[in-house]
Amino acid sequence: MNVREYLSAKYKTDQPGAILAIECRVFGIPYPLRSGWLDRYGHIEITTEMQTKLIQQLLASKKDSAWAGLRVLVYGVEKVQLRDTELTLF
């Protein structure tokens, strides 16, 4: 999955216009955003390492959109290591 596909699934739209700052850091997207950022960076493939790091950071967030991102990211993920705790996702 790439950044555009992730954001489209997260926000349930073909043209997502928002992204969290923590998502930008994980994906290597400069923040604050500039016009055309999705066209420039939407093709970036989300690696397993990025996915794991983002899950950990989104779990610490209190924003509703963080939970929406988690729902997208955990689909198909069996286990995520969070510090000393193993989290099994179904």
Mean pLDDT across 66-73: 91
pLDDT band of residue 86 (cuts 50, 70, 90) is low
CA distance 65 to 70: 9
Residue 90 in 3-state DSSP? coil
pLDDT digits (tens, 9 = 90+) for 5-59: 999 999 988 899 999 999 999 999 999 999 999 999 999 999 999 999 999 999 9
Structural contact between residues 50 and 44, judged by C-beta atoms closer than 8 angstroms: no
Mean pLDDT across 52-72: 92
Say what the pLDDT of residue 79 is.
41
pLDDT band of residue 88 (cuts 50, 70, 90) is low
| Tokens found for residue 81 | 């290591």
